[in-house]
Every structure is written in C-alpha cells, then in structure tokens.
Amino acid sequence: MPIATNEQYQEMLKKAKEGKYAFPAINITSLETLNASMAAFAEAETDGIIQVSTGGGKHATGPIGDMALGAEVLAEAAHTLAEKYSVLFALHTDHCHPSNLEPFLDPLLEASRKRIAAGKGPLFQSHMFDGSPVPMKENLDTSEKYLKLCAELNIILEIETGVVGGEEDGHDTSGVSADKLYTTPEDMCDAFERLDKIGPWMLAATFGNVHGVYKPGNVKLKPTILKDGQAAVKAKFKTSDNPLFLVFHGGSGSTLEEIHETLDYGVIKMNVDTDCQYAFSRPIADHFFKNYDGVLKVDGEVGNKKFYDPRGYLKAATGGMKDRIIQAVKDLRGEGKSILK
C-alpha cells in the first residue's frame, strides 16, 4: 500500500485513542532499520509510524552529514518500499529543536511542497517541533507558526511541553530541574487554545519521562499528570473525554502497567528507540563473538568470507530489531489493528 494519506493517518490516531492502544514510533537510520520496521508492522498486521531524527538523517548521508538530505533519502525509500506491504505507514520526524528548524525542518517542508506540486503526497505525514528548550510563550509561538505551515501541506505537527530528561542525539537535558520534567494542566490548556483551531496536532506532554535505558524503578513516572491535563482541557473548553492526542517519549524502563495506564489517558504514539538499538546491535555482537576467527584474519589465515560479509550479520540485526518492534506492538495493544482490515 502507499504511505498513509492525511485522512488515513488521522483515522489511525483516532481509532487508537478510541480503542486505548498506541502505535510504537520507530526511529530509523538506514535501509536495514527501515526494513525491520516495515516487516515488523506487516507481521503484526498493524499500521505503523516510522520516524527519522536529526541525528538519524545526518547518519544516513555518511560523510556528507546533511540531516535533511538523509531524512529525505530514507523517506523516499519508504515511499517506494511501502507499495509492497499490505498495511499503512506514516512517516514522522523526531525532536527538531529550535536551532534545527532552518537546517532540518524547513527543507523537508519544502520537499513536501515540491512533491504536492508534482501530484504526490507530502514527503512526511507528521513532524515534531520540540520547543522545550525555550520559554512556553516562544514554544507556542513557533508551534503555531509551524502548525499553519504543516496544515497547508496536510501534515500533522507534534509539539512538546515540559522537558524529557536524559540525552538523545547529542541533546542533553540531564541537568534540568525536576519540575521541568512535568507538564502542567495549564500548559496543556494553553497549547490546546493556541493550536487546536489551526489543524491536527499531537502533544508530547512530559510526566517524568527520561530518554535512554534504565532498570525498572529508576524512572519515576507520574501518568496521572496526563489524566489531570486531559480533564483540565475538557473542563475549560467543553470537549469530549481525552481531547488531546498524547505522545509518550522516553519509555525505556517503564513497566507494562505504567504504559497501559497512559493508554487510558489518550496516549496514541510511543517512541521506541533505545530498545530497538539494542535489539539491532545484540545479534551483531553474538555473530562477532561466536565467529571471531572467521570474521578476522587471525595468525595469517584468510578468515571466512561468509562470516565477514556484512549481509549476514546485518540480516540478523534486522531480524532482532523486527522482533523487538513486534513486542512493542503487543505491549501497546496494537496487534492486528490496521485500519485496512
């Protein structure tokens, strides 16, 4: 199937909120990680969200180091490969901080304009602007500006209020004060008032989330913050239950009980990156440890080509990541939930 249209993407998110399940959003950096993601969603018979960060885009172009070009290359590959699958995929860009709007988000929006002018759909179906490093007013001013640009192109915008702790793609927030890790009901109401009249959007509200991987119990989540924020928006603006489409960042190390509680409060997208990185790397480590003398030319020997051929261990890595994504789909209650079924 082609990449999801705007209407299909909105239906995916609406049904997830109504059904109290969520889509794992998987970060990709290469064709291997793209193939792992697509194969996993197809095997789980669910639609999926595949995303590229600024760092992922930069990596995809190697020594060129162009984050926007890399994201465009991966997205165009996804558009081509998606035709071979029977589920839908939405393409998303992750964590664009204010300093990266000009080198990353602006060129990608321009690429979508060109695609639309040529009679195609937008390159990406949603983008994230992460305004958490700046004051709330500046965050919402910029969010409003970019939501208007996205809405003109039938693209959904994701924003963030509060700060996700830890480090990702070189952006380290480990030193922020504890109160910044929790979005307030007032923040959620302000965002709703400014943005909801413009076009479809998602909110990455923070409730103690931390990027990276931690043992269970080390990350202190407060999912009721999401419940309280949804209730505040409903009361102030006379909406239905859970009016916000919420996104869960920094979920590694969270318990299944905590994850399921967030689904009750309107989380429809959960970023799954760190666990997928490990699931991709582990089979490679296994391969090299078990086949050390075949991978290397030890003591003047010639090694074994079938062991040092990258296709072998990258295939194993792709399979490991695929299995972890399928587990994420099951954890988020999304198995078999494609809107095409």
DSSP 210: B
Token pair of 137, please?
Answer: 């007013």
Nearest to 317 by CA among 275, 271, 278: 278
> Which single residue is written with the structure tokens 């409060």?
265
Q: Which residues are known catalytic residues?
A: 94
Give the dihedral sign, CA 138/143/146/148: negative
> Which single residue is written with the structure tokens 């209650």?
333
**Amino acid symbol at 5:** T
Nearest to 127 by CA among 225, 51, 190, 19: 51
Q: Judge contact between 171 and 210, C-beta under 8 A.
A: no
Q: Judge contact between 88 and 47, C-beta under 8 A.
A: yes
